[in-house]
Chains A and B, each alone.
Chain A
Amino acid sequence: MTNKIHTYQAVFLLDNEEVRKGFNQAKDWVQTCLEKHNVDVKVLRLWGERALAYPIGSRQRATYLLGWVEASGEAVNEAKREMYLVGPAFRIMFLRADEIPAEEMEFGIEAIDDSAVDIPEEIEEFEIVEEDVAEEAAESKTEENTDEQAGKKAADSSDESEAVAAGEENKEN
């Protein structure tokens, strides 16, 4: 593999659990990991926090980090390999580009306040469904019990009325 330097656009999907601990911490980890493998980071900025089009593992949402880097293909592959093994990024994509757009260069390596990253609580649908099912089951059980009790009462009352009627008949005789 040649060591020719190319420009790449990079997108990192960060785990929201890690970003909640601190966005800058997660971003710094990505940056140091890239620089460790001789990847020259030109731009690294928050692109947004959004819902995933399909769940990845147990994740329904993720924080997107956008970057522009200059590196050799080998360096990019090594950095990617490490990031898939450890760290907050769970999906990474590098895309060859001709040059870094001027409007992107303005961002540089952006540092924002951790409180500026608003991450909503992840809705765990499966748990809600299980809870709903459990509630429904409990409700149906109580209904069944009340029906059974009502049935027993009705049976008892009919027995009693039959017994009373039989007693009256005996008295008449």
Chain B
Amino acid sequence: MKKKLAFAAALLAASVLGGMANAKTLVYCSEASPANFDPGTTTGGNDFDASSRTVYSRLVEFKHGGTEVEPGLADKWEISDDGLVYTFHLHPGVKFQTTDFFKPTRDLNADDVVFSFDRQFNKANPWNGDKYLPNLTWDYYTGMDMPKYVAKWEKVDDLTVKLTLTEPNAPMLANLGMDFASIVSKEYADQLEKSGKMADFSTKPIGTGPFQFVDYQLDSVIRYAANPDYFKGKEKIDDLVFAITPDATARIQKVLAGECDIAPYPNPADIGTIKANQDVTLMDQAGLNIGYMSYNTTIPPLDKPEVRHALNQAIDRESLIKSLFQDAGATPAENLIPPTMWSWNKDVKSDAYDPEAAKKVLAAAGLTEIQLWASDRVRPYNPNFQRAAELIQADWAKVGVKAEIVNYEWTKYRSEGKKKDRPGAFQIGWTGDNGDPDNFFATLFACSAIGVSNYSSWCDKDFEDLIQKAKKTSDQAERTKLYEQAQVVFQKQAPAFLLAHSQVYAVVRKNVSGFMMDPLGIHRFDGVDKAE
């Protein structure tokens, strides 16, 4: 009997140990807790890393490590000649994840796609409002102007979906690769609605993505397992763990100690230490972002382009960037869009440092005082608004312009700053959503964005015509030309001082392969492998 027991124990131990040795676990030290796991309802990059990029897939996807759109759940699609009708053909036999809280009885079909979008705007859909979760705002769906452009979603047959637009909108395709456009399971939603547990939809996600949700310990650990039915093939790692670690220094210490395999956003001050370490690699990429400073182009003398150019020329941009970004580095911005984005115009150069020339123009224009706005928040495109303001203030003082620094807390800062009659120069920036140039040009400088996100209150007819035409054109080569011209107009008119595109970093242990920096600022774990 004793022998038998000992044998059983040994067997058990062997199986447990064996199980541990076989399971490949990748640990990601994420920077914050996700608000929830329904990407339609959240807005943070950390929310999306934990939900849409792990659990879900979309009709179209962004190329891994790039901004080009490629097939996702839709194998192919057609766009009608007038640019109004998009027909998507779904990949056959895509399975939703099977977990201990949901067993799908059918494959993904057009109903799921229609439902995924319908719930975000149709007030009659029970998942649109309080019945699902209190105070839903669907920020990204409205933020990307989807209600304005989408006329209807229709099921043609099980594997064909038709999207009709109200007017041509070329960036739509890129929008459908964004996180809010993740495809959810209608069958799962129906089950939860019937059992009266609708809120579970946001805490126990079911999708068609590379990893399936296992468990979330609030503010601490999220666990996923590779989805065995993933339509692009099972992932090489078996388990994916997010260890939520908000402090940047602790995060880096964890990678160095081997407690996690990948960590994002190191402190600039730690970059040197990381580079010197043998066990880890520091990965970087020019971020899909821009730091800039908007002049209110409606208030004299800032309404004159030559005055705005002169203010730009007075700033020693190189020293400014060095002092702000330090070891982390940043690419000086020549255009509003970063060089990693298609249609970036290589012939356009921003104003060179020339305080003497600036001094003359500014004296002639009679500009002696200006407001210079700064906020308290660290942004990827500007780590220190206040420091930047002080340096620019010093530069401007040298050309006879006295800058008064205006400070506000971040949300108040933006709500005050976007007012049409806000005076002076306003430091701000942008991180791209979908890799489409429209997402920079139109979002930040379209006439319709005045009072929302056009902090320069700038409405230039030439620029507006170009970007609106580009928005309505489906052909990418033609769009590229239009955007290139728009960048020339932008440089001539100088509605803003362009600072830089910052670098984005991640620290990765040497035995991890296949992890790529993503220009969209997301963290993806499909295709990642780990050597023991």
| A, B assembled together | no
Q: Which residues of B contact A (CB under 8 A)?
A: none
